[in-house]
């Protein structure tokens, strides 16, 4: 049996969520007695492809050609499908990143495969693969099986761990002729936003809510985030009030996140917000209201004014971390 | 410009999910259903495109009779007509997409809009599945779109930034929060919606590829713990993060 793990690269660097995916594919391959093959698609990516040997890929295929320098979901899906067919892959894994979510449905149609999206666990039981995925923004989980012979899974970033795997892989370069009609929608430009990590990928998130009293006080959130190398998150209330951009919103109509540490500052914890962050490994909450629902989830809660506690925390952390 | 918008009828975001007696679906008792928030943004975008370029907006939904409520809301916002693909069974995303694609093939719109995901199953795949089934380009997680001479330039959200994506029409677009601010239906709109047509027809049959074997609540977290009531608790927090959680 072959497992094909698609590894996403941006600017010739493999994304962490893809290292997690390749490593998870290897774990599964060992369990099922299969072979883990990684696939990288782009232009000038041979160096990046090599790295995947350290995360469990027994072989790495690099489809490396100039017309794939810019992302196109149709062209990439065509290439991934062609490799999956050539390799006879029965299982295809992708990260449930924005790119993975954009590609997996197209590959599923082309391969006649079922797709379980955004999985947080994948286990083999009596020869059957059972995937677990959050639904209703994490208020519930479903266990699913895929009934088609070829199966596709996308894995939620930050849930599977990208531990190094002793080994190395030879990179096999391939090319695939593409025509103008294969491209569909094409990326013309990429605009980078803050330079801070994205909430869906960050190990640590510092998130702010109405308790900050005004947009100007989000400076306190940003300062703490920068000391911790964290992403900045926000509650729906402050996004709707226009204090923060919507791409920072955590919760049911924003991002569902699973960081190692989530620091909720001045967020009372509406049910929609709690759904989006309750799978964080550790939760710190700072809020004035001791009855705020967020404290029911907080591993470490401090009842108090965020405007007073945040500068203190940032200052002491700076010292402790030597920054 | 012929615009089609696909919408879903979902439990409102306040809902505390309870597992139903079949252990496969939720307990619907006392649950309020609504137009899925991202789909509402898609409807709004469809209306704005129609108003600028002329044409009409048809809204589609797949499900039981209750979905008419959501279709009425889209009609009240200003959509011209609605199609309900009737189906009372539980489908996976693939089977939903297959039936929608079948109907969309017949309608042949210039532009198809979805929400970036339906907030019940959070699968985020129906829109892109439909695009692939119809052989159309697609842009997901769209926060900005501009149409000129049959070409659409979009901004779509990715991790840590935006991609500027260009495509020709016809194409499929999946709306993200930030694309627009959906209007509230006016009283006039609500009255007008009552006489707008909802065409009902059986949804095309399709195979289920992903089978749910259990719906369950996530494992309960440890009860919360308050470590202090003022800034004097900060050193203790740092110690716990270092020694117990081993994060810093």
* Ordered per-residue pLDDT tens for chain A, 323 residues: 999 999 999 989 999 999 999 999 999 999 999 999 999 999 999 999 999 999 999 999 999 999 999 999 999 999 999 999 999 999 999 999 999 999 999 999 999 999 999 999 999 988 899 999 999 999 999 999 999 999 999 999 999 999 999 988 999 999 999 999 999 999 999 999 878 999 999 999 999 999 999 999 999 999 999 999 999 999 999 999 999 999 999 999 999 999 999 999 999 999 999 999 999 999 999 999 999 999 999 999 999 999 999 999 999 999 999 88
Partner residue opposite A135 with nearest CB, options B122, B177, B240:
B122
At B182-206, the pLDDT tens digits run 999 999 999 999 999 999 999 999 9
Whether the link from the prior residue into A187 is cis, omega within 30° of 0, is no
A197 assigned to some structural domain: no
**Residue A273 and residue A151 share a domain:** no
Chain B from 191 to 220: CB within 8 A of any A CB: 208-218
**Residue A208 and residue A144 share a domain:** no
A152 assigned to some structural domain: yes
Contacts of A203 (CB under 8 A, 6+ apart): A158, A197, A229, A230, A259, A260, A261
CB A33 within 8 Å of CB A47 = no
CA distances from B37 to B11, B29, B44, B93, B120 (A): 11, 21, 11, 18, 11
Whether chain A has a CB inside 8 Å of the CB on B177: the answer is: yes
**Residue A119 and residue A250 share a domain:** no
State how far residue A309 is from chain B, nearest Cα, in angstroms.
5
CB A142 within 8 Å of CB A133 = yes
Nearest-by-CA chain A residue for B229: A303
A190 assigned to some structural domain: no
Q: What are phi and psi of A28, to 5 degrees?
A: -70, -40
**Residue A222 and residue A139 share a domain:** no
Whether chain A has a CB inside 8 Å of the CB on B132: the answer is: yes
**Residue A173 and residue A61 share a domain:** yes
Partner residue opposite B161 with nearest CB, options A134, A193, A272:
A193
Could you give the residue ranges of the DSSP H alpha helices within chain B? 37-53, 67-77, 93-107, 126-134, 187-194, 234-239
**Residue A160 and residue A231 share a domain:** no
User: Residue B223 and residue A74: Cβ atoms within 8 Å?
Assistant: no
CB A34 within 8 Å of CB A60 = no
pLDDT below 70 — which residues of chain B? Answer: none
Q: Which residue has the tokens 């009425």?
A: B72
Chain B from 153 to 172: CB within 8 A of any A CB: 153-167, 171
Kindly list the domain boundaries of chain B, sorted by start residue.
2-202
Residue A168 pLDDT = 85
A192 assigned to some structural domain: no
A103 assigned to some structural domain: yes
User: Residue A301 and residue B227: Cβ atoms within 8 Å?
Assistant: yes
**Residue A291 and residue A170 share a domain:** no
Contacts of A161 (CB under 8 A, 6+ apart): A20, A23
Sheet bearing B2-6, strands edge to edge = A186-192, B161-168, B151-158, B138-148, B171-175, B111-115, B2-6, B56-63, B81-86, B198-202
CA distances from A63 to A78, A176, A178, A288, B170 (A): 12, 7, 12, 54, 29
Both tokens of A193, joined, read 């936003």
User: Residue B129 and residue A109: Cβ atoms within 8 Å?
Assistant: yes
A55 assigned to some structural domain: yes
State how far residue A51 is from chain B, nearest Cα, in angstroms.
21
Domain at A141, CATH number: 3.40.50.620
User: Residue B210 and residue A135: Cβ atoms within 8 Å?
Assistant: no
State how far residue B195 is from chain A, nearest Cα, in angstroms.
32
What number of C-beta contacts closer than 8 Å exist between A and B? 270
Interface test with B, best of A109, A118, A145, A277 (most B CBs within 10 A): A109
Whether chain A has a CB inside 8 Å of the CB on B23: the answer is: no
Q: Which CATH number fits domain B2-202: 3.40.50.2000, 3.20.20.10, 3.40.50.620, 3.40.190.10?
A: 3.40.50.620
Question: What's the total number of domains in chain A?
Answer: 2
**Residue A209 and residue A159 share a domain:** no
Whether chain A has a CB inside 8 Å of the CB on B102: the answer is: no
A187 assigned to some structural domain: no
User: Residue A135 and residue B215: Cβ atoms within 8 Å?
Assistant: yes
At B48-81, the pLDDT tens digits run 999 999 999 999 999 999 999 999 999 999 999 9
The residue segments making up the domain with residue A220 are 204-320
Contacts A136 to B, Cβ<8 Å: 11, 15, 17, 26, 119-120, 122
Report the alpha-carbon distance of residue A234 to residue A276 in Å, rounded: 11
Report the alpha-carbon distance of residue B140 to residue B114 in Å, rounded: 9
Contacts A137 to B, Cβ<8 Å: 13, 119, 122
**Residue A283 and residue A139 share a domain:** no
**Residue A271 and residue A217 share a domain:** yes
| Strand B9-11, strand B33-35: pairing | antiparallel
Domain at A214, CATH number: 3.40.50.1220
Both tokens of A208, joined, read 């702010």
Whether chain A has a CB inside 8 Å of the CB on B180: the answer is: no
State how far residue A198 is from chain B, nearest Cα, in angstroms.
5
Question: Residue A249: beta bridge partners?
Answer: A234
Residue A242 pLDDT = 96
Residue A194 pLDDT = 75
Tell me if ipTM is over 0.85.
yes
Contacts A146 to B, Cβ<8 Å: 209-211
């Amino acid at each position: 049996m072959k497992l094909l793990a698609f590894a996403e690269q941006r600017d010739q660097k493999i994304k962490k969520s893809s290292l997690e995916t390749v490593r998870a594919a290897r774990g599964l391959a060992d369990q099922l007695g299969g072979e883990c093959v990684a696939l990288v698609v782009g232009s000038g990516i041979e160096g990046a492809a090599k790295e995947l040997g350290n995360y469990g890929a027994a072989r790495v295929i690099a489809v490396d050609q100039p017309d794939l320098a810019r992302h196109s979901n149709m062209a990439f899906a065509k290439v991934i499908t062609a490799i999956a067919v050539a390799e006879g892959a029965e299982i295809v894994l992708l990260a449930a990143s924005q790119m993975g979510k954009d590609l997996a449905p197209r590959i599923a149609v082309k391969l006649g495969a079922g797709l379980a999206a955004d999985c947080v666990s994948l286990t083999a039981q009596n020869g059957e693969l059972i995937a677990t995925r959050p639904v209703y923004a994490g208020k519930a989980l479903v266990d699913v099986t895929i009934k088609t012979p070829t199966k596709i899974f996308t894995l939620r970033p930050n849930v599977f761990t990208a531990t190094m795997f002793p080994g190395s892989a030879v990179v096999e370069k391939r090319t695939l002729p593409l025509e103008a009609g294969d491209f569909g929608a094409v990326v013309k430009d990429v605009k980078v936003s803050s330079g801070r990590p994205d909430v869906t990928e960050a190990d640590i998130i510092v998130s702010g809510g109405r308790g900050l009293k005004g947009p100007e006080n989000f400076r306190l959130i940003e300062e703490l985030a920068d000391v911790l190398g964290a992403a900045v998150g926000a509650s729906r209330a402050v996004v709707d009030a226009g204090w923060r951009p919507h791409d920072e919103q955590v919760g049911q109509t924003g991002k569902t996140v699973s960081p190692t540490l989530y620091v909720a500052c001045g967020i009372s914890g509406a049910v929609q917000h709690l759904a989006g962050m309750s799978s964080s490994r550790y939760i710190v909450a700072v809020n004035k209201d001791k009855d705020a629902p967020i404290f029911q989830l907080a591993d470490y809660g401090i009842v108090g004014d965020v405007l007073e506690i945040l500068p203190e925390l940032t200052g002491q952390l700076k010292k402790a971390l030597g920054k | 410009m012929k615009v089609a918008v696909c919408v879903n009828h979902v439990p409102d975001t306040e809902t505390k999910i309870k597992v139903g007696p079949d252990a496969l679906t939720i307990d619907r008792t006392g649950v309020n259903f609504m137009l899925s928030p991202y789909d509402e943004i898609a409807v709004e975008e469809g209306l704005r495109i129609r108003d600028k370029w002329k044409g009409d907006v048809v809204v589609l939904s797949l499900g039981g009779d209750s979905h008419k409520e959501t279709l009425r809301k889209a009609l009240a916002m200003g959509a011209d007509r609605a199609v309900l693909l009737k189906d009372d069974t539980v489908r996976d995303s693939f089977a939903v997409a297959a039936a929608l694609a079948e109907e969309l093939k017949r309608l042949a719109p210039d532009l198809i809009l979805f929400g970036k995901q339906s907030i019940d199953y959070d699968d985020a795949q129906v829109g892109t599945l439909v695009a692939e089934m119809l052989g159309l380009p697609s842009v997901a997680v769209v926060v900005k779109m501009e149409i000129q001479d049959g070409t659409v330039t979009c901004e779509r959200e990715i991790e840590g930034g935006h991609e500027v994506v260009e495509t020709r029409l016809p194409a499929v677009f999946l709306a993200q929060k930030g694309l627009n601010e959906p209007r509230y239906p006016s009283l006039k709109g609500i009255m007008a919606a009552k006489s707008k047509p909802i065409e009902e027809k059986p949804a095309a049959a399709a195979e289920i590829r992903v089978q749910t074997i259990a719906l369950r609540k996530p494992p309960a977290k440890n009860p919360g713990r308050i470590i202090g009531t003022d800034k004097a608790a900060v050193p203790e927090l740092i110690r716990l993060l270092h020694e117990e959680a081993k994060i810093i």
